[in-house]
Structure 1
């Protein structure tokens, strides 16, 4: 199956649920590219670009309805999201299936009737939304 190559400023779509938290991004969810090659005047995303993603978000849960804040990062790509046979400076990132994401709280969510949440990182998933539909690999 062919996968589209991910390019600069392609969108990221994260699942709403990260463990026990409901997480809502508060800034655009995009990936920045550092590859040398370009598609339609946009740099291609290469292995390692996913590690630079950090999206500000709010979170809450049923027990802690007053939102706290934190950030979403990509913890690892799925095996089908790197095109090892297609390289710019490194293997290219492609749409593939879903990557693993991590939400890390920075300020705690709270409950007016009880204590603040003991914030702990929670795992989730996400996927790439490709903007170009010209170049595929696979």
Structure 2
């Protein structure tokens, strides 16, 4: 099924729920490396999603209420987010699609208040998801 092709400047919007963790999310920016252009911007192709990294995101859990910090990135695309036929420079273009899989990697653990010392979160990664927002409302790929 045809869907809008992603281009440089489009956003990866992450949902704030990553398992039991709640993350203060910010959008990530897509940078296309395809050979084709839409609206004078390079199209995104397979692999460009790996460069979407959002550092410095605060998080906490129900038990760990002293915020920690980590980074969000796209773990994998849904089947409808990579074109099967439409290519640029020999690589499949990326499509808006549905939900991609995301990962939150803990860099400084959130902590549970406790005396004499707070108890750190021992989970190092949390899984979540997100969606793409595109400014391309004209060109679709399949």
**TM-score bracket, shorter-length normalisation:** over 0.9
Q: Secondary structure of 2:49's match?
A: helix
Residues 1:20 and 2:24 are matched in the alignment: no
* Matched residue, 2:54: 55
5 Å matches for 1:1-138? 1-25=1-25, 28-56=27-55, 57-89=57-89, 90-113=91-114, 114-138=118-142
**Structure 1 unaligned runs (5+)?**
none
Q: Deviations over 1:48-107 (max 9, x none)?
A: 001111111111111111111111111110111011211102100001111111111000
Distance (Å, rounded) in 1 between the aligned partners of 2:36 and 2:20: 40
Question: Secondary structure of the residue that 2:50 maps to in structure 1?
Answer: helix
Gaps spanning 5+ residues in structure 2: where? Answer: none
Larger-gyration structure (1/2): 2
Shift of 1:32: 1.3
Q: Measure, in 2, the Cα distance between the counterparts of 1:134 and 1:63.
A: 46
Q: Taking structure 2 as the reference length, what is the TM-score of the superposition? A: 0.91
CA RMSD between the two structures: 1.3
TM-score by length of 1: 0.93
Moved over 6 A (4+): none
